Amino acid sequence: MKTPVSFEFFPPKTDEQRAQLDRTVEKLKVYSPEYVSCTFGAGGSTLNHTTETVQRLKQAHGLDAAPHLSCVGGTREEIRALLDQYRELGCTRIVALRGDLPSGMGQPGDLRHASELVQFIRSEHGGHFHIEVAAYPETHPQARDALSDLRHFKEKVDAGANGALTQYFYNADAYFAFVESARKLGVTIPIVPGVMPISNFGQLRRFSEQCGAEIPRWLEKRMLAYADDADSIREFGADVVAALCEKLVAGGASSLHFYTVNLARPTQSVLSRLR
């Protein structure tokens, strides 16, 4: 039985980036994704781009597109208007996140936590939207500890989330331990592993430092051994991530969510090994 997949894209800002995204989407559509998601910029700087991209993914590419929605820095009225806009576009999925307050921005907004955002979406639109929330197998970087992070996750689920997408990781045991702990707290929704294919290791290290994802020491040392050999990094990276995906699916993951960074090749390389 084929494991369902979904893909995350970010909204392009230039004509060149739009053309790149279109090429990527065309190549990844052959995997019949369950849906695709579209991120937003810090502080809402690309909210208009997000709406445009969601519309293009739906209308030009025929995909079920789920916009990411952040509550940080926004008023209830602004969030209400966005939800209405996405519903008018025909969206039935939302990825509901707290988001980060941009540096220099003093107002956190009317809703402080993702759990409040989920509650707000439910109060405004009932069961219309399938709501995904974030989960952190290796613990949110701003969390006091793993247990308090797990309780925050449970609050989002209790508020009405339908599913969860995890931060990426390269240690399958961290995912399995998180899922087991969540199940013990009574969480029954699907917890879908987020998968980050490896193409540019320097970029991956920067991402990981920002979001708190751990790169195992053995993986970092192997990557550093390849130095500037980009082809070897890509091939080895695809082998590692494909093996991770196989382990996750064998261990019970119901589907896989790929962070594409708007590139087709790294995700294709992993999926081709799985097939």
Residues involved in catalysis: 8
Contact (Cβ atoms closer than 8 angstroms) between residue 130 and residue 175: no
Structure tokens at 247: 């382990």
**Any idea what the Cα angle at residue 196 is, between residues 66 and 231, rounded to 5°?**
130
What CA–CA distance (Å, rounded) separates 164 from 208?
20
For 156, phi then psi, to 5°, come to -65, -40
Which residues have a Cβ under 8 Å from the Cβ of 77 and sit 6 or more positions away?
none
* Region of residue 19 (left: phi > 0; alpha: psi -120 to 50; beta: else): alpha
User: Rg (Cα) of the chain, in Å, rounded?
Assistant: 18
- Distance in angstroms (rounded) separating the CA atoms of residues 242 and 272: 9
Contact 133, 156 (CB under 8 A): yes
Distances (CA, A) of 165 to 47, 59, 101, 189: 21, 25, 21, 11
Dihedral sign for Cα atoms in the order 17, 6, 151, 121: positive
